Amino acid sequence: MEVLPISVADGTSKKKKKKRKKHIIQEEDVCTEGKTEANPVQDGYKKLEAGRFRFLNEQLYTMTGSEALEYFRQDPNAFRCYHNGFAEQVKKWPTHPLDVIIRWLKSKQKQLVVFDLGCGDAKIAAALGDVHKVRSFDLVAVNDMVTECDMAHLPVEDSVADIVIFCLSLMGTNITDYIKEARRVLKLGGVLKIAEVVSRFVNVKLFRSAVCKLGFDLTEKKELTDYFTLMEFRKIEKVENKRPFGLKLKPCVYKKR
């Protein structure tokens, strides 16, 4: 199976970027379904949609959650384009962190309340809805399992979830707000799972430390492949710092092939 390297933008100059060795996600045809015989009109359409996917991807990393929510409310088709484009990238990955998380949840014999934040099409709920009480949240409800909302303002009460999951969904400029909201809805001792692209971290140790300062203990960390890392935290009573330094992730860059 082809292994797709992954790249992130770090704000350096174009000259420095050219010198730096990059991991690149090769872009496939996105926002389209099925395969048809090549023709100029269809090829042109695919290129336009692929360009829009790259544009949307860049925009999501420069917005707050509330700004992204409003953007997609004004243009629902934009979310479909982004969702389809992301799904095409996932097909090329040797391992999807979401599959690892689903297997982990299946191993839990006790029924748990699970919140999937930035859920896409709610794969966890689809796979485990008869095992756990799964609630799925995202900017746009692509099906009836998803609740539309800003992840920094979940429409739920305090301390109700056993597990909160961010699987490749920590986008935007207000990541701290997302982590704080996860802590708000978790029960004391509840689990926070974060799966992310390794190359997005400016300093992974500093990131873990910052999450802990928001009221968590780090209980597990492991690399799933060369490209993904999985972290597990547990909610504790003490919050050391409400605005810790280090909760910063670089945006992924999808380069035109």
Output the CA angle 57-222-245, nearest 5 degrees. 60
User: Under CATH, which number does the domain 97-250 receive?
Assistant: 3.40.50.150
Q: What is the pLDDT of residue 51?
A: 74
Residue 82 burial by CB count (10 A; 0-12/13-18/19+): exposed, middle or buried? buried
Residues 6+ apart with CB under 8 A from 22: 5, 7
Q: What is the pLDDT of residue 46?
A: 61
- Among 145, 203, 210, CA closest to 175: 210
Q: What is the pLDDT of residue 65?
A: 94
Report residues of the chain scoring pLDDT below 50. Answer: 1-36, 41
- Residue listed under structure tokens 């190359």: 199
Q: What is the pLDDT of residue 100?
A: 97
**115 conformational bin, left if phi > 0, alpha if psi -120 to 50, beta if neither:** beta
Q: What is the pLDDT of residue 213?
A: 97
Q: How far apart are the first and last CA of the chain?
A: 19
Q: What is the pLDDT of residue 45?
A: 52
Q: What is the pLDDT of residue 93?
A: 86
Q: What is the pLDDT of residue 94?
A: 86
**Would the pTM of this model clear 0.85, i.e. be above it?**
no
User: Under CATH, which number does the domain 7-90 receive?
Assistant: 1.10.10.2150
Domain chopping of the chain, boundaries: 7-90, 97-250
Q: What is the pLDDT of residue 103?
A: 97
Query: Cβ(207)–Cβ(15) under 8 Å?
Result: no
